[in-house]
Amino acid sequence: MLYNQFMTLDPAKLRKFIEDQGWSGFGIVPISEVKSALGKHESIFEKWLRQGFQAKMVYLEAMKEDRYHPENKLPDVRSVIVLQAWYGSDENGNVARYARGKDYHKVLKKRLLSLSDWLKAQNPEISTYASVDSGPTVDRVLAEAAGLGFFGKNANLISPSSGSYFFIASLMTTAQLPATEKKRMPGCGDCQKCMMSCPMGAIVAPRVIDARRCIAYLTIENKEGIPEYLRPRIGNRLFACDICQEVCPFNEGRAGKQEILIDELNAKNGVGDNLDLAEILAIETDEEFQERFSGTSLMRAKRRGLLRNACVVAGNRGDKSLIPVLEQFLELETDEMLKEHAKWAIKAINQNTAI
């Protein structure tokens, strides 16, 4: 009886609440369609795991059962609300666009919980489960099922009208909500710009990413040293990478053009577009790192990861003025992995400036 009664909810009121929260768009999809989409992707994911493309992200395999069976997280789930939030920036920088503002996990989760409270205010018997790219929910698959985009060859979800610079969040609910209309989606066609442009060759096949070679993995999830032969290909990318999105025709001219409706996601309210390498290399303690980057996505790399990345970028930049900074870093640092990266950076700078 609960679900039939809730079908009378005015869709216009739900849409207004979502728009007032600052979401750029949303879709509602019944759980039957979600399960169909998840079933298709589960075998793809299992093959990806067998090939070792997850690198050392062992948690992905541990979450596999819940990823593809949403009822494990929310019994009696009936519908899923999937939401978009734009984040693009037209500035080139050494921090990936998505990480320049406040940590989107926290910013968007807060809004999801408010949306959940609003739904429960309509009927207190409703239950929900919120996900923002950090739990066992495959938000990209849910977004595809909800009609918000299609999977590009770079494995990103692409909106044909707006590109791919958007976050995805989802709210599963036991309420049976009316589904939103879905448009017919295009595809990438013969385009291989993302595959050809990746400096690591990490896109090994359409929609298949080998994390072991992906700059985003190497600079964030990877907790060890970056293989020496891959360091020059990191270039100026201190934290993650946008290349496979920057070259995508669906994103052409769109970076910075989509309005960011949730102000915390603006770069000016986070770490900004570029970080100063000398300032990063001067961070001596975890406490200093936390004070500087608390509330941002850069916390994921921790001090050790970010300083490792800074050494690599410094070596690639070839700026001789950074040598004294690196030498001071070597005197104070005790971590052998970081010291090795700093020594490599000094050697790389000297070689670059000698040419």
Any idea which residues carry the catalytic annotation? 133
Pull the structure tokens for residue 145. 């099922």
In terms of phi and psi (left: phi > 0; alpha: psi -120 to 50; beta: otherwise), the region of 181 is beta
CA distance 166 to 200: 24
Q: Is the dihedral of CA 188, 131, 142, 51 positive or negative?
A: positive
CA distance 67 to 5: 30
278 phi, psi to nearest 5 deg: -60, -40
Going by DSSP bridges, is the β-strand pair 79-86/150-151 parallel, antiparallel, or unpaired?
A: unpaired
Q: Concatenated DSSP letters for 111-143?
A: HHHHHHHHHHHH-TT--EEEESSSSS--HHHHH
CA distance 246 to 327: 35
Pull the structure tokens for residue 28. 């509602």
Radius of gyration of the chain (CA): 22
Count of beta carbons in the 10 Å neighbourhood of residue 214: 24
CA distance 94 to 100: 10
Pull the structure tokens for residue 181. 């209309």
Pull the structure tokens for residue 165. 């610079």
List, in order, residues 6 or more apart from 355 with CB less than 8 Å away: none
Q: What single-letter DSSP state applies at residue 179?
A: P
**205 SS3 class:** strand
Pull the structure tokens for residue 101. 């503002």
Pull the structure tokens for residue 164. 């791919």
**Measured over all CA atoms, what is the biggest interatomic distance in the chain, rounded to whole angstroms?**
77
